[in-house]
Amino acid sequence: MRLAKTDWALGALAVAMAVGLSACGSSSGPATGNLPTSIGKGEGQLNLVAWEGYAQPEWVKPFEAATGCVVHAKYAGSSDEMVALMRQSGNQYDMVSASGDASNRLISGGNVAAMNVALVPEWKNFIPQLQSPPHNTVNGVHYGISLQWGPNILLYDTAAVHPAPTSWSSIYSPKYRGLITVPNNPIQIADAALYLSKTDPSLGITDPYELTEAQLNAAAELLKRQRPLIKKYWALASDEIELFKNGDATIGAAWPYQQSTLTADKVAVASLIPTEGATGWADTWMLSAHAPHPNCAYKWVNWVSSPKVQAEQALSYGETPANTKACAYMEQIKKGSCPVYHANAPAAYFDSIKFWKTPVANCGNGKNDCMDYSRWQQKWTEVTA
């Protein structure tokens, strides 16, 4: 989840060379070229790099039965891991469920191929912001199909955290020393920057992903002060789930998936978007430039774009579907769920979330004094070391 601002690579991407659907992309530019005009017979297999919870049996098993494409999913714990897997795996993986802090890196690196949205009938039913968003569409070329979106939330144990929190300040408070958990991900710096943009206006932070050296240092210092309070930096969502189940953590930064899983397991948790606001993600299924099973990949995109499966995944993960027709199915599965997950919310709600994007030196103001992602990675290493 970030569409109010143009993602980092729009002005920098160059079309390199025409390649076929399954051909290798350029190492220095996006893989574009002749798009398929139809979906052929499935190859019998589909290999995915995905966020944990994105390949659940309730929609994978019916897909396999309907198409003959057997799904193998490799769960990644961060966008950095997803990028590394797609760049280092050769032709091992077909698709990746990339968030906005990874998608343009994969496009500019030639790791993903252009896709034909005309072969995805449900695309026309996506919310307008996710039909051609800048995190997967460059110069009118689509490098993936949007999937789901949602905010990063503050999760807490209702039996242990009193009073109920209202601010992100809770995860920086000594009150919860040794009981706090946050993602092990450099993009977590943006959460600290967003908090500082509200609590220390003198820093002049207007975009949590566009930070000058002084602003980045301020966010890193806040996170360094938080470090002794942290029980664990979690990599996979299941890591955080276990921390809460065992009582090893009682408050932390999370995704809705953790809350829905813990609630289903009768763990007393609640969540909120704090007063300072929230970062978030909008995820895209992207086709590898080296995909060995492109027909199964297109079949998968059509399956998970359908209103019914969009609704199933939204309720399983606790996120918001891209397909506007999913709302009715959500209500059939669980009455009242459509408004709970903002599936029928106005555009203003979508635009209020600070969606993940990769930090670059160009701040969008004619200057190049922002810190790029490599600097964020360096700072995160300093914080967590």
Q: Are 119 and 241 in a shared domain?
A: no
pLDDT digits (tens, 9 = 90+) for 64-89: 999 999 999 999 999 999 999 999 97
Residue 285, domain member (yes or no): yes
Q: Rounded mean pLDDT of 133-141?
A: 93
For the chain, the average pLDDT equals 90
Could you please report the per-residue DSSP string of 275-343?
A: TT--EEEEEEEEEETT-S-HHHHHHHHHHHHSHHHHHHHHHHHT-EESBTTHHHHHHHHSTTHHHHTTT
User: Looking at the structure, do residues 226 and 269 belong to the same domain, yes or no?
Assistant: yes
- Mean pLDDT of the 128-138 span: 93
Q: Residues 311, 329: contact at Cβ < 8 Å?
A: yes
Residue range(s) defining the domain that contains residue 125: 45-148+280-352
Indicate whether 180 and 235 sit together in one domain.
yes
pLDDT digits (tens, 9 = 90+) for 278-293: 999 999 999 999 999 9
Distance CA 150, CA 130 (A): 13
What length does the chain have? 385
Residues facing residue 284 across a β-bridge: 98, 146
The strand pairing partners of 63, in sequence order, are none
235/76 Cα distance (integer angstroms): 8
What percentage of the chain has pLDDT greater than the value 90?
82
- State how far the Cα of 279 lies from the Cα of 140, in Å rounded to an integer: 26
Average confidence (pLDDT) over 131-139:
93
Give the DSSP letter of residue 247: T
| Together in a domain, 233 and 368 | yes
Element containing residue 91 per DSSP (H, E): none
CA distance linking residue 310 with residue 123, whole number of Å: 12
CA-angle at 146, arms to 142 and 151, nearest 5° = 135
Assess whether pLDDT exceeds 50 at residue 355: yes
- pLDDT at 28 > cutoff 50: no
Structure tokens belonging to residue 162: 């009193």
Q: What pLDDT digit, counting tens, does each position of 162-200 carry? A: 999 999 999 999 999 999 999 999 999 999 999 999 999
Q: What is the pLDDT of residue 140?
A: 95
First-to-last C-alpha distance (Å) of the chain: 28
What pairs with residue 51 in β-bridges? 76
Number of domains in the chain: 2
Please check whether residues 379 and 251 belong to one and the same domain. Answer: yes
How far is it, in rounded angstroms, from Cα 72 to Cα 15?
31
pLDDT at 89: 74
Residues 290, 251 within the same domain: no
Contact in structure between 253 and 176 (CB atoms under 8 Å)? no
Query: What does the pLDDT average to over 354-378?
Result: 90
Average pLDDT of span 52-69? 97
Mean pLDDT, rounded, for 122-140: 94
